[in-house]
Amino acid sequence: MGLSRWTRHRHRLDRYPADGARQHWVVAAVMLAYLTTACGTRHAATETPPATETTLRVENQAFLDMNVYVVRSGQRVRLGTVSGNSTRVFTLSQALIGLGGELQFLADPVGSPRAALSESIVVTPGDTVTLVIPPTVR
């Protein structure tokens, strides 16, 4: 009886270290795979490109202050007011520009019924448009 117990005990000692070592290798391999993916750098495809700013530079040579609008597909959006005999720069939003398209600009003098509408121009993201309002708006 004593020998059979020794044999069973010996058998367990031989078997478990081998299985335990195998489990340690599996755990180590899984940990290594996890750490490798966790420490990796992000790919450029996941990063968003820097936004390009589209601007409108309005040079008001008239005496009257002007409310300036951008017109796209018949809809006008107010950008702001440019004081008489001054220059102001407006940033056009990406939603307004889209991927590019035709825009018009409307200059509406404060206190006067005479507004001026520019010709249609193609504006793409990153452009700088200069609008010159002459001393007499027609």
> pLDDT at residue 9 above 50?
no
Q: Examine residue 47 and state whether it is found in any structural domain, yes or no.
A: no
Q: Is residue 33 part of a domain?
A: yes
Task: Please tell me the total count of domains within the chain.
Answer: 2
Instruction: Clarify whether residues 61 and 129 are in a common domain.
Output: yes
Q: Could you tell me the residue range of the domain that residue 86 belongs to?
A: 54-133
The confidence score (pLDDT) of residue 15 equals 43
pLDDT over 50 at 4, yes or no: no
pLDDT in tens, 10-49: 444 444 445 555 555 555 555 555 555 555 555 555 555 5
Q: Is residue 48 part of a domain?
A: no
Three-state SS letters, the chain? CHHHHHHHHHHHHHHHHHHHHHHHHHHHHHHHHHHHHHCCCCCHHHCCCCCCCEEEEEEECCCCCEEEEEEECCEEEEEEEECCCEEEEEEECHHHHCCCEEEEEEEEECCCCCCEECCCEEECCCCEEEEEECCCCC
